[in-house]
Amino acid sequence: MSMFRLDGMVAVVTGGSRGIGRACAEVLAAQGAHVVVTYVRGADEAAKVVAAIQENGGKAEAIAFDVADMKASEDAMSDVAKRLGKLDILVANAGVAIDGLLLRVKEEDFDRIFDVNVKGSLACARGAIKSMMRARFGRVIFLSSVVGEMGNAGQSAYAASKAALLGLTKTLAREYASRNITVNAITPGFIDTDMTTSIQGDAKEGMLKAIPLGRTGRAAEVAAAVAFLSSKEASYITGETLRVNGGMYM
């Protein structure tokens, strides 16, 4: 028996055109899911992800909306469910990081971080959960971060937004358990993506010293955890935070 298959399932991966989201889209499709990749800018990047999945025999498509727009997010989730008949898996991955020490955090940056990371994730979850409730099955996975658990100097607003997702995870897990919908969070550590390319030199060396496995993580290593939590085999796991951080925080 092959485990962790997602055949016949419909999955949405927000911000799936690059980085961790792209890896999630590819792995979920390889496991058999029909994957809807969402993006806000970069239609070309999203089209490339869809083409790569299709070349490997998978099912994928791309749709555009800004997750910070609550109504657009909810509408997009119900459109997917209507068009494809259901929505089994939501990977709320879209996120932004704008760094700055507390005394320098601009109000507009704080608002943008919370609009995208927290409100966007909540809105997509609300849209998705509506159809999951009808189907009495669902998997919601939020991309939080190790910094939401341990803090990080220079990332107060970002860390606060990622910690907020852990509260959201546990609350939705309690609210929708009776409908057979599980809600979990993944907290990646230092993963090599566009978001982290600016971390170089001494800052990178310092971070690597704090990682017992001694290296940065790959997007595919986060995606593998997402695929597991998406699967039927993860049916008794809800409200959980799964760390994918090389031992950086335990």
Instruction: List all residues 6 or more positions away from 247 whose beta carbon is below 8 Å from its beta carbon.
Output: 211, 212, 213
The verdict on 99 binding ligand NAD (CB under 6 A) reads no
Q: Figure out which of the listed residues 7, 107, 194, 202 binds ligand NAD, where binding follows CB under 6 A.
A: 194
What are the structure tokens assigned to 134, written together?
A: 């009808």
Of 96 and 133, CB closest to ligand NAD: 96
Of 15 and 138, CB closest to ligand NAD: 15
The letter for the amino acid at 111 is D
* Residues 158-177 close enough to bind ligand NAD by CB under 6 A: none
The CB-side HSE value for 147 (13 A sphere, CA atoms) comes to: 16
As measured in angstroms, the least distance from the Cβ of 117 to ligand NAD is: 6
Of 132 and 147, CB closest to ligand NAD: 147
As measured in angstroms, the least distance from the Cβ of 67 to ligand NAD is: 4
As measured in angstroms, the least distance from the Cβ of 174 to ligand NAD is: 23
Residues that bind ligand NAD (CB under 6 A): 14-15, 17-21, 39-40, 66-68, 93-97, 116, 120, 143, 145, 188, 190-191, 193-196
